[in-house]
Structure formats: structure tokens, C-alpha cells
């Protein structure tokens, strides 16, 4: 019996041990499963994190090639474009300005943005490198000279441009048809900004910086390459051509002499045309210009004002011309029979080879410079930097305003001792104008005084007495009753 009980107890113990072992194995399996799940979760998280990190790094590397999205205001196929227009190029991306360049020193096709009218054999010279805007996506090109009228231009952008990520354009861009400038530089002109009158003709500076002249044209003074009078027959003014001042050139001022004209151009050079019997055109000969085909435009020479010198103002007399230069000096050329050129002799200048290159500036007095210049019949006047006035040349009627009838500027040393005009106690000048034998000034108090010949009352002093040709007359010269 005891033996049987012992066997039963042993069996129960074994069953319990086996059950506990199975339970332990199941827990391990569960734990393993948990661990596996945890490992799987960790692996999933790591993989996900790594994948995300790789994806983020990939998105910061921009490999998109930039493109040209527009070229304006001179869009492809556009016509009647103003000769003063700029060219604007817009890209799809922000560009590295280091690689957006153009030609600024000459007409060679250099730089990454180019504009050409001859299939890029030569290119338009620009005044500066392209100006950026719109977060470096838009670039403006400003031509150094005005574009040529009636001409088609194309724009090219090379693959040398790069965006800020360093990407180049995948292919070169070029407008297919280009843009065409207006067939006449005056097509958009609607009004005049200044006028000048000669003996039998007139000229106007228009609001698009072109010039038109009309009237008598026997010597080419209208600047239209013939001698046809304009404005004396029906319909002529409507078809009056502009003066051809040269490729890309426009005017900022104009002056009219007896039978010739001068224009101050947009590049501060000077050109004159018309009658040239005394060298008044300043081209070192006496050849009329503007009266025959092909004489105007690029064939009309600029006036040699001296090495490095440019002009800020111009004036024209009967047969002579003057310019106020960029250094505030004055030069006059042409007829000099009575010293109107102010060079202490009576030698005409500008009518023979090489004369303009050696033409001296006028001696206005120690330390004195000019702020304005005018030319009359046979004399010239300047407003000086101290607001005084000096005149030189013909003086038979007192037009120089120096209290005598002595011509000044026709003999050695005269200009150095040329006196200023007595405009009245404490009075100075703000402007001058010069007639045939008389002169006038606007004074600092806005009054006007005139002196010289007065046979027809041109001095406005209620008599016909010449003033300025006798001692003491200028000190008592009355202002004009306006």
C-alpha cells in the first residue's frame, strides 16, 4: 500500500515539474516574441529614420537647370520698340550674378547675355553689367548708345550663366525673331522741349531727343542730306525727316546760326551741319554738310574739342560757334574777323586741317570759369562762375558793355584784361542772350538789362540811344520796364 502511494506521489511530482517547464518555455517564447517584435520595431524605426534622413539630404541638393522665362520690354516679334529701351531678361531661378555678364567695353560679343543686330558678329555695347532685381531672377541691360532706328535685334543667353545652386542652363537661349526698333526716331515724338532759330530756318529738339529743322535749306542747314526747303508746301511738315545724328545718337540741346546748326549729343559730343564758309562746323575744312546724300549720320564728324574734353552747352553765331566744356572752359571756332573767338587774334579756326586739335580755350581771367555761353552776330558772351558777365568781339555799338567801342579778343593780351560788365551796384546775372549787335542779361533780382545798338529800340529803354559804347553808360543803364 505504501508502495502504491509512493508511486502515485512520484507521478504527481513529475507532472507538476513537466507543467512548470512547459509554462516556462511558453513564457520564453512570449518573451522571444516580444523581443522579436521589439527588434522588429527598432529595426523599423531605424530604417524609417535612416530613410527619412536620406530623403531630407536629397531634397537640399537642387539640380534643376535654370531657364529664361521672358525677355522684355523688347519681347520676341515686338516692333516699333523705342531706340532708348533697355533689355530685361528674367530667369526661372535666382541667379549667381557673377555669371550674368555682358559686353561693356566694346562691341565684341562677350559675356553671357548678348544683344545683336547682325547675327552676333558684333553685339550691342552696354553701359554697365546687368542690373539685378527680383531676388536676382531679373536682369536689366542698358545699352551704352541708343539702338539704331528700324533695326531688328536678337537676344542670346549662353550656357555660361549659373543659378545660385551652381546649375548651368541645359542649352543656349536665343530669341527666334527678335525685336525691331521704330523705323523713325521721331515716331513717338509728340512735342518739342527746345527750339532754335537761324536767319531763315528753325530747329526743334523733340521729346524723344531727336531734332527736326525746317525752312530755307540752300546750304543743308536742315540736315536732311539735300537742299529742299521744307515747310513751304502742303503736307511737307507731316513727312519732315529727323536729322540723322549718327548711329544710336540723340540730342540734348541745339543751337542755330545764320545758315548752320549745332547739336549737343547724348554722349556730350558736338556735331554741326549746314554752311561752313568760315569753319563754323568745326570739322577742319570749309565743306558744307547736310546738303548732299550721305553727309549726315555717321559720316558727319564730331567737333574736336580737345583730348578728353566734352561739352555741356553750345551756342551759334552768324558764322561762328562756341561750346562750354566739361571743365567749365569755353572754346569758339569759325569766323574770327573781329575777335569773336576770344583767342587774341583774327585767325579763323576750324577751316583748315588740324586747327581744332590746337584750338585754345578762352582766357576768362585769373581763376575764372564759365557757367553759360552765348554767341551773337560777331560777338560772344559768357556768364562766369562768380555770376559776372564778359563779352568779346565786335563792339562798334557797345555790344560788349564795357563803356567804349574797342573790339576785344582780336589782339594779344586783350582777353586777360577784359573787364566784366557793370550790371549795376550789387547786381549779378543769371542768364544772357546775344543779338546781332546788342546783348541782354537776366539779373539776380529777375530784372532785365540790354546794351549795344538801339536804333530800333531793341534795348527797351524808351529811346534809340546806344548804351555801353560811352564811358559811364553801363552804371546808369536802366532795367527794362516789364
CATH of the domain at 128: 2.60.40.1220
Q: What is the pLDDT of residue 144?
A: 84
- Over residues 347-367, the mean pLDDT reads 98
pLDDT band at 21 (very low <50, low <70, confident <90, very high): very low
Point out the domain boundary residue: 132, 153, 183: 183
With a pLDDT cut of 90, the percent of the chain lying above it is 75
| Residues 333 and 471 placed together within one structural domain of the fold | yes
Identify which of 109, 108, 86, 121 has the alpha carbon closest to the alpha carbon of residue 158: 109
What is the domain extent for residue 370?
A: 192-476
| Residues 220 and 262 placed together within one structural domain of the fold | yes
Point out the domain boundary residue: 183, 217, 251: 183
| Residues 167 and 214 placed together within one structural domain of the fold | no
Residue 372, beta-bridge partner list: 383
* HEC assignment per residue over 17-49: HHHHHHHHHHHHHHHHHHHHHHHHHHHHHHHHH
In a domain, 320, yes or no: yes
Identify which of 247, 107, 100, 229 has the alpha carbon closest to the alpha carbon of residue 168: 100
| Residues 295 and 200 placed together within one structural domain of the fold | yes
| Residues 129 and 214 placed together within one structural domain of the fold | no
| Residues 135 and 223 placed together within one structural domain of the fold | no
Point out the domain boundary residue: 161, 183, 205: 183
In a domain, 481, yes or no: no
In a domain, 29, yes or no: no
Q: What is the pLDDT of residue 75?
A: 57
8 Å CB contact between 159 and 136: no
In a domain, 50, yes or no: no
Rounded CA-CA distance 303/357 in Å is 9
| Residues 309 and 446 placed together within one structural domain of the fold | yes
Q: For position 450, which CATH number holds?
A: 2.130.10.30
In a domain, 27, yes or no: no
Per-residue model confidence as pLDDT tens digits over 63-110: 999 999 988 755 566 766 777 788 999 999 999 999 999 999 888 999
| Residues 243 and 96 placed together within one structural domain of the fold | no
Total structural domains within the chain: 2
Mean pLDDT of the chain: 87
Q: Note the pTM of the prediction, 2 decimals.
A: 0.67
What's the angle, vertex CA 278, arms to CA 276 and CA 280, rounded to 5? 60
65 Cβ partners below 8 Å, 6+ apart?
Answer: 167, 168, 169, 170
Q: What is the pLDDT of residue 171?
A: 95
| Residues 231 and 251 placed together within one structural domain of the fold | yes
Amino acid at each position: 500500500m505504501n508502495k502504491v502511494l509512493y508511486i502515485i506521489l512520484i507521478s504527481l511530482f513529475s507532472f507538476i515539474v513537466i507543467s512548470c517547464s512547459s509554462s516556462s518555455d511558453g513564457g520564453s517564447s512570449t518573451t522571444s516574441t516580444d523581443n522579436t517584435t521589439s527588434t522588429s520595431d527598432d529595426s523599423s524605426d531605424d530604417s524609417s529614420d535612416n530613410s527619412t534622413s536620406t530623403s531630407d539630404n536629397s531634397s537640399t541638393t537642387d539640380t534643376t537647370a535654370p531657364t529664361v522665362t521672358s525677355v522684355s520690354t523688347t519681347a520676341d516679334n515686338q516692333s516699333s520698340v523705342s531706340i532708348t529701351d533697355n533689355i530685361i531678361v528674367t530667369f526661372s531661378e535666382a541667379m549667381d550674378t557673377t555669371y550674368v555678364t555682358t559686353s561693356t567695353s566694346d562691341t565684341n560679343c562677350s559675356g553671357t547675355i548678348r544683344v545683336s543686330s547682325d547675327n552676333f558678329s558684333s553685339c550691342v555695347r552696354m553701359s554697365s553689367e546687368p542690373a539685378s532685381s527680383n531676388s536676382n531672377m531679373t536682369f536689366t541691360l542698358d545699352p551704352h548708345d541708343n539702338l539704331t532706328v528700324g533695326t531688328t535685334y536678337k537676344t542670346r543667353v549662353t550656357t555660361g550663366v549659373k543659378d545660385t545652386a551652381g546649375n548651368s542652363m541645359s542649352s543656349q537661349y536665343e530669341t527666334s525673331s527678335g525685336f525691331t526698333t521704330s523705323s523713325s526716331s521721331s515716331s513717338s515724338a509728340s512735342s518739342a522741349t527746345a527750339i532754335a532759330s537761324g536767319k531763315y530756318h528753325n530747329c526743334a529738339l523733340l521729346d524723344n531727343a531727336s531734332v527736326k529743322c525746317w525752312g530755307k535749306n540752300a546750304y543743308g542747314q536742315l540736315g536732311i542730306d539735300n537742299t529742299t526747303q521744307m515747310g513751304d508746301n502742303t503736307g511737307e511738315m507731316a513727312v519732315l525727316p529727323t536729322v540723322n545724328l549718327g548711329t544710336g545718337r540723340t540730342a540734348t540741346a541745339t543751337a542755330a546760326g545764320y545758315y548752320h546748326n549745332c547739336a549737343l549729343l547724348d554722349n556730350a559730343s558736338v556735331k554741326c551741319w549746314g554752311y561752313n564758309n568760315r569753319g563754323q562746323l568745326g570739322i577742319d575744312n570749309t565743306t558744307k554738310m547736310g546738303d548732299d546724300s550721305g553727309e549726315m549720320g555717321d559720316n558727319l564728324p564730331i567737333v574736336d574739342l580737345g583730348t578728353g574734353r566734352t561739352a555741356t552747352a553750345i551756342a551759334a553765331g552768324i558764322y561762328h560757334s562756341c561750346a562750354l566744356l566739361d571743365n567749365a572752359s569755353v572754346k569758339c571756332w569759325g569766323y574770327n574777323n573781329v575777335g569773336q573767338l576770344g583767342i587774341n587774334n583774327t585767325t579763323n579756326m576750324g577751316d583748315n586741317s588740324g586747327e581744332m586739335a590746337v584750338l585754345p580755350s578762352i582766357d576768362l581771367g585769373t581763376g575764372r570759369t564759365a557757367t553759360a555761353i552765348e554767341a551773337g552776330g560777331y560777338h560772344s558772351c559768357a556768364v562766369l562762375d562768380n555770376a559776372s558777365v564778359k563779352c568779346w568781339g565786335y563792339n562798334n555799338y557797345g555790344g560788349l558793355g564795357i563803356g567804349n567801342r574797342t573790339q576785344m579778343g582780336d589782339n594779344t593780351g586783350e582777353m586777360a584784361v577784359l573787364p566784366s560788365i557793370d550790371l549795376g551796384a550789387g547786381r549779378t546775372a543769371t542768364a544772357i542772350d546775344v543779338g546781332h549787335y546788342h546783348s541782354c542779361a537776366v539779373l539776380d533780382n529777375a530784372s532785365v538789362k540790354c546794351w549795344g545798338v538801339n536804333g530800333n529800340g531793341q534795348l527797351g529803354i524808351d529811346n534809340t540811344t546806344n548804351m555801353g559804347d560811352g564811358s559811364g553808360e553801363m552804371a546808369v543803364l536802366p532795367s527794362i520796364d516789364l
